[in-house]
Structure 1
């Protein structure tokens, strides 16, 4: 899912294809020498002298011993003890994304961006200096389903305690300075002007509008120029009080901490948040009407987006859909779409498909750019590839390759504390079972071609696609025939 991550800072992203919520960021401080020593010691225990040592060995999967409880204020907590390095990662996940905007599109993004602009006695510069002086890192981001704040710090009490104190203030008791609001609004308004020059953004916004109609997912997650301009400080304070409440929070903690220390940290953060319950779950979207929309845009290329409603986060068929999509267009080179559209015909730099399961039914999308004069033929080609795949499913070799790729990349989902804390946040936010990741890995490896075909054809239909194109209206040319050496090589870089 591609979402708004704040107009100013380096923010966290939901990067995993398995779960929305995996957080990636770097920790840099003068105090990392302790961590470096621990890393060096771990490396010295066994050095890999030859890649042949890995032959025949399956990738190591880290099994997570997830502990969970609830704070007195109603926050859900998930904790994994990880003693390898003297640091910890903590994230707060709130149902405070743009799906909670209501009649004020963009208020979720604006509120999240304002969190670290001021607390009592400290402005944005003092807050930044406070985290930096402790070797700590603060992060935040707003998406459609959720808003996230995070802290990474050394676990020694002399660093952990002041870092946590500052973090709790920033998230729980921000002052939302008026001058900061004006500045951030201007930055967001400037961003909207830039978006007008990006056909991909224009097409994506139109696609979500067509796909979701009056549903909370329909509007852009960062709002519009008109809606952002009208938002007041009182509205931001009210949104924060409602959606950043303790009962609406999932607290994830991973690191060099005991259960007792993690409980104390969670209690402190939870107590600092506004008091209140979890917000109501959003309603299911209505099935959209299939059809095509074109956005006229001066360009040499045309952006093509095809989509329909997919599945929500806890869909039982998700393992089969995940593997099925890897064969279709979610696995890079070697997928059906890349082979037929790029490698055999040279029509695009890249073509990708993906499911984005969310709290409600997230979208299934196919995304590519192609030369404007070949756009209509390319669209028909992609639609034909999808229809054929839904009818016949993957071959055994394609599925075996997808299984092997997934198994090989799966350990990355728990390879670092930052990755684990993101997984915990998503598991807690979407009310998934604690063994969700392990079950996903096991189920994906036991799938048959018939199960994948059945799941894909159950949830997708070639004649239900919502299509949005953005580019110039130009005379069309016939597509080149497929060949191992296409005469028209793909453009080196997408135009936008």
Structure 2
């Protein structure tokens, strides 16, 4: 995956810092739903302290919408969007952003294609017109496609030699099989080499459509101005894109998969089925995950695997609620002669966790951290816009920011016990080990 972030001049950087310092706390955000004259919806937080606006655009489906046999097309297309559009070649497009003190970023993952824009009020109209060209009239000239293709092929070659990337890809394949989640969004060397310029236009049409659009804006802009901007920027996009993929059939079973790799240590990824964010037990799982493996040196797994036994430098767990599948995963690295013992301890702690017992101190500490850390995420217009876009993608209500910490604080020991007994299963854990571990 190629991430494109174009550097803005010092003035935009200084205003971005000012936006960070002036950002309102989470509980003070006034979020408005705006509908443009053309029917495009967006969430807006007005902040007129400085003449700066952050805009976040999302398209559901992301790289999962690659056409059959065209794996990697949407990733390559996304990375080529800023290589020239309308009346600009790639150098002219970059120079125009620099002159406007604007910054655009294009990115894609399994579920979402994302566009981030930062612009000054005085240059907003021109910046919007420049971005509109990239979104509605990209050149995808052959030289640019070939240049970016070379960068993607370099990433694919690098990943083939990276044990962490190998472990991640092996786990995805075991978990999701032939579903798009089961393969890298970068594609393979073979699939990427076969992509044509025409495939870029097809990939764009598959994902960049108004029926899967989410928008948020934070900064020096009124609802009326935002509505007009949305129609000018996005109104020419097609109404519909490709059909969304089906839910992934999670294929994980318990056991160990070894991938031979000549290294003094092994990289390990492990996981089982997880929970969707709309599951009634999600917040219980979220709090318990902090206790189990997400809490750094205060987590159970770090205590048992690192502190007591010295089997790893670090071990972490994380909930992965993707749009079309959910897993509960973890990862660590260990010396080859210690990997088997580390895996045994993880299973032991997972079986203990499945009983769902937590102490009052564990529960209180987890809640204190999760609720205290949450407001720190709202540290600037761009971060707030990003959070608002994510909320819309997840189908969360517009008042979620005000109620989120209440949901964390409402989790009880009984909630965790019910969730853990329902969800956690040490025998269902699949471990993917990349290295040459002994005793496995």
* TM-score, normalised via structure 1 length: 0.83
Counterpart-to-counterpart distance in 2, 1:10 and 1:372: 39
1:283 aligns with 2:252: no
Q: 2:37–2:227: 8 Å Cα contact kept in structure 1?
A: no
Q: 1:141 to 1:375 in 2, by over 3 A?
A: same
Q: 2:8–2:98: 8 Å Cα contact kept in structure 1?
A: no
Counterpart-to-counterpart distance in 2, 1:177 and 1:60: 45
SS class of match (1:139): strand
Q: Which moved more, 1:199-208 or 1:59-68?
A: 59-68
Q: 1:307–1:465: 8 Å Cα contact kept in structure 2?
A: yes
1:90-489 matches, cutoff 5 A: 90-103=55-68, 104-156=70-122, 159-272=123-236, 274-277=237-240, 279-290=242-253, 291-474=255-438
1:29 aligns with 2:24: no
SS class of match (1:217): helix
Q: 1:37 to 1:205 in 2, by over 3 A?
A: closer
Alpha-carbon shift at residue 279 of structure 1 (Å): 4.9
2:4 matched residue in structure 1:
9
1:85 matched residue in structure 2:
50
Alpha-carbon shift at residue 299 of structure 1 (Å): 0.4
Counterpart-to-counterpart distance in 2, 1:72 and 1:293: 55
Q: Which moved more, 1:71-80 or 1:95-104?
A: 71-80
Q: Which moved more, 1:352-361 or 1:78-87?
A: 78-87
Alpha-carbon shift at residue 64 of structure 1 (Å): 2.7
Q: Which moved more, 1:332-341 or 1:450-459?
A: 450-459
Counterpart-to-counterpart distance in 2, 1:233 and 1:10: 23
SS class of match (2:262): coil
Summarize deviations over 1:152-210 as a string: whole Å, max 9, x none.
01123xx1111111011112221111101111111111111111221111010010110
Q: 1:67 to 1:280 in 2, by over 3 A?
A: farther
Alpha-carbon shift at residue 28 of structure 1 (Å): 4.6
Q: 1:392–1:453: 8 Å Cα contact kept in structure 2?
A: yes
Counterpart-to-counterpart distance in 2, 1:241 and 1:37: 38
Summarize deviations over 1:223-268 as a string: whole Å, max 9, x none.
1111111111112101212311223221211111111111111121
Counterpart-to-counterpart distance in 2, 1:142 and 1:206: 21
Q: 1:98–1:146: 8 Å Cα contact kept in structure 2?
A: yes
SS class of match (2:268): strand
When the two chains are superposed, the root-mean-square deviation of aligned CA atoms in Å is 2.3
Q: 1:35–1:86: 8 Å Cα contact kept in structure 2?
A: no
Q: 1:315 to 1:64 in 2, by over 3 A?
A: farther
Q: 2:340–2:437: 8 Å Cα contact kept in structure 1?
A: no
Q: 1:63 to 1:310 in 2, by over 3 A?
A: farther
Q: 1:166 to 1:195 in 2, by over 3 A?
A: same
Q: 1:66–1:80: 8 Å Cα contact kept in structure 2?
A: yes
Alpha-carbon shift at residue 32 of structure 1 (Å): 5.8
Q: 1:373–1:474: 8 Å Cα contact kept in structure 2?
A: yes
Alpha-carbon shift at residue 305 of structure 1 (Å): 0.9
Specify every segment of 5 or more residues in structure 1 that has no aligned partner in the other structure, as ranges.
Answer: 12-25, 44-58, 477-496
SS class of match (1:126): helix
Alpha-carbon shift at residue 409 of structure 1 (Å): 0.5
Q: 2:27–2:401: 8 Å Cα contact kept in structure 1?
A: no
Q: 1:27 to 1:331 in 2, by over 3 A?
A: farther
Alpha-carbon shift at residue 72 of structure 1 (Å): 5.4
Counterpart-to-counterpart distance in 2, 1:339 and 1:406: 19
SS class of match (2:415): helix
Q: 2:5–2:104: 8 Å Cα contact kept in structure 1?
A: no
Q: 1:29 to 1:316 in 2, by over 3 A?
A: farther
